[in-house]
Amino acid sequence: MSLLCFLIKKIINKIGKGVSKLKKVKIVAVTLLLVLGILSGCSGKAQEKTSGTPNGKIRIGVIYQNLQNEYIVGLQDSIRKYAKASGVDLIESDGEGKAENQINQVENLINQQVDAIILNPADKNGSAPVVEQAVAAKIPIITVLAVVSNEEKATAHVGSDDVEAGKIEMKHVAELLSGKGTIAIIHGPNGNSAEVNRTEGNKEVLKDYPNIKVAAEQTANWSREEALALTENWLQSQKLDAIVAQNDEMALGAIKALSAAGKLKNTKVIGIDGIPDAFNSIQSGDLTATVFQDVDSQGKMALEVAQKAAKGEKVPKENMVPFQLVNKDNLDKFKAK
């Protein structure tokens, strides 16, 4: 400020005595405006996109689908691990499987002015307003594992191709049954994008196997307990050659019911996710196979994409991690991961 005053005095002294007082005032005013403009320009360049935290760290809000699900807990573990390693602050919420909870939770994150949001949607349609609100608040939002009906409005998606997962598990069962038999399908929550897409994959494969009959299919909401009760009910009236479950939790529930009924030995059971309990069940000879999706890579990628988006960097719209079939033949390779 003292330098600015010194410069103004120098300018006034340089102005000739013949110049009127009014003109002197005008010249000084113009000079001041020029100096202030230069200063504000310098200031503007220094103030690029910064984090909302006082310590300068990036803050990312994470809204999980349901932390009662072992796979989602694995996603949380991965995101936390890589956030700690990269110095990112997390604000986490559990949607408890309800889209309405996630809608309330995103409002809270917007009020806290987070730099980016990672959304693990509870419902394809019901969780769509979460994306709308983030976009309206100009906060980057990355969906992970599942998608929403207005996915085109999200900044990016990180996940795996659930249609492909449905194809892989049904193809494996069809081959084990030599293309003939009676099966049941345990679905995830109706309307969840993973359930919709895995079902599409299941049914696409079944078109090629007309001698495989689907005797029963119903949702168990990703729950081991619900799948146990559902399978117990089916076994009272059905003889099943295989049970195709759209996640491992439900596959393990079906195994418990089959084992209690003394029918596990003659029934193939397959799941999706590759959770530790599923690997242990394959090792013990109970679970036939699982379709592994790499939750550690998914969590890492979701965090990395969110960080880049928070800094204003351009990110790919689709970021996919491939599914892989796991059975007793290649189990050791995946358990080592």
Q: Is the pLDDT of residue 12 over 90?
A: no
The predicted model scores a pTM of 0.74
Look at 13 and 260; give whichever has higher pLDDT. 260
Q: At a CB cut-off of 8 Å and minimum separation 6, what does 313 contact?
A: none
Q: Do domains 59-155+297-319 and 162-292 have the same CATH topology?
A: yes
Looking at residues 7-19, what average pLDDT do you find? 51
pLDDT tens-digit series, residues 234-267: 999 999 999 999 999 999 999 999 999 999 999 9
Closest listed residue to residue 309, CA positions, set 73, 92, 144, 111: 144
pLDDT above 70 covers a percentage of the chain that reads 83
Residue pair 215/208 in contact (Cβ under 8 Å)? The answer is no
- CA 108, CA 121: separation in Å to the nearest integer? 16
Q: Quote the tokens at residue 232.
A: 């117990």
**CATH of 59-155+297-319 among 3.20.190.10, 3.40.50.150, 3.30.70.120, 3.40.50.2300:** 3.40.50.2300
φ and ψ at residue 170, rounded to 5 degrees: -70, -35
Provide the pLDDT for residue 72.
Answer: 96
Residue 183's Cβ-side half-sphere holds a number of Cα atoms within 13 Å equal to 31
CATH code at 162-292: 3.40.50.2300
What is the overall mean pLDDT for the chain?
89
Closest listed residue to residue 75, CA positions, set 134, 140, 108, 119: 119
The one-letter amino acid code at 244 reads V
Q: Is the pLDDT of residue 324 over 50?
A: yes
The domain spans of the chain are 59-155+297-319, 162-292
pLDDT tens-digit series, residues 205-237: 999 999 999 999 999 999 999 999 999 999 999
- CA 135, CA 320: separation in Å to the nearest integer? 22
Q: Is the pLDDT of residue 277 over 50?
A: yes
Residue in this structure with the two tokens 């550690």, named with its chain if needed: 296
Q: Is the pLDDT of residue 43 over 60?
A: no
- CA 166, CA 174: separation in Å to the nearest integer? 12
How far from each other are the two terminal CA atoms of the chain, in whole angstroms? 61
Q: Each residue of 230-263: b (16+ CB within 10 Å) or e?
A: bbbebbeeeebbbbbbbbbbbbbbbbbbbeeeee
Looking at residues 182-210, what average pLDDT do you find? 97
Give the alpha-carbon dihedral of 78, 79, 82, 87, to 10 degrees: -150
